[in-house]
Amino acid sequence: MRIFTGIKSIVKMIIPIKYHCALGRYEDLVFSLFLYGHSFTCPICGGHFRKFLTVGVNPRPNAQCPRCGSLERHRLLWLYLKNETNLFVDSLRLLEIAPIDCLQRKFRAMSNLSYISIDLESPIAMLKMDITDMKFPDNYFDCIICYHVLEHVLDDRRAMKEMFRVLKPGGWAIIQVPILRDKTFEDPSVTAPKDRERIFGQCDHVRIYGLDYKDRLESVGFSVNVDGYVKRLGDDVVRKYGLIKDEDIYFCSKPNFVGK
């Protein structure tokens, strides 16, 4: 495995960055053959493995699918979308902010979806756009997925307001962030990457969210259901799909009637 990882690193040094995403798909497919087994299953790509990959600053075993690259939170999101929402059955206009590669490929292939992805920097996003100033009409999307994005955004409330604005009345959004404490902590004066890493846990994070995150979402108009979906799946399913037991889904709805 170390030899294969070393080869991947050398190849990426030779190939231009803009081709890394496409190259990675073929690398991951080959790499996944070495880990084929029946202990773990990825619900997104359907791969079966004797183990998932260990990843993270604080290494997490069985975290990443070796074929499609999905992490625990991506697999949980996929299961939730499939089993708890109308995403797979209705004709919907879906916005994904900061697209997740393994999910974007699935969404773009679904004939019932009119799908758009945006980001300021991601090379796989369909449109380059700022989440705090989206160039879409009011009440445009049926659903929005914004997964682990707001911890990178300086003005997160403005971003929340923009998502609320472009979502149709009666529509839904899953707006997820890492919840790491009781009360959200932020300090705009912390700007150096090293300081942000020390204080917020990552060099490109601008705050640490707490359990009051729900209040922030509701302050812009969303109705928020903090859904402990993973707890309903059972230990065998959690282990099979390599999920985290304590991650709640923040399912946000826009009321059918929004007063001015």
Domains of the chain by residue range: 2-64, 72-253
Whole-angstrom distance, CA of residue 225 vs CA of residue 250: 6
23 band by pLDDT with thresholds 50, 70 and 90: very low
Give φ, ψ of 178 to 5 degrees. -70, 125
Query: What CA–CA distance (Å, rounded) separates 117 from 125?
Result: 5
Percent share of the chain, pLDDT over 70: 86
Residue 251, pLDDT > 50, answer: yes
Q: Give the sign of the dihedral formed by CA 89, CA 257, CA 184, CA 207.
A: positive
d(CA 58, CA 23): 27
- The pLDDT of residue 30 is 64
Mean pLDDT, residues 87-108 taken together? 97
On the question of pLDDT at 225 being above 90, the answer is: yes
3-class SS shares of the chain: helix, strand, coil, % to 5: 35, 25, 40
Q: What is the distance between the alpha carbons of residues 215 and 106, in angstroms, rounded to a whole number?
A: 32
Q: Are strands 92-97 and 60-64 parallel, antiparallel or unpaired?
A: unpaired
> How far is it, in rounded angstroms, from Cα 50 to Cα 245?
20
pLDDT > 90 fraction of the chain, expressed in percent and rounded: 79
**Amino acid at position 48, single letter:** H
Average pLDDT over residues 123-150: 97
Distance CA 27, CA 170 (A): 42
The structure's pTM equals 0.85
**Token pair for 191:** 């700007």
CATH T-level fold of 72-253: Rossmann fold (3.40.50)
User: What are the CA-CA distances from residue 15 to residues 18, 21, 30, 168, 237 (Å)?
Assistant: 8, 11, 18, 42, 39
- Torsion angle defined by CA atoms of residues 208, 210, 214 and 220, in that order, rounded to the nearest 10 degrees: -40
Cα four-point dihedral sign 137, 149, 244, 52 = positive
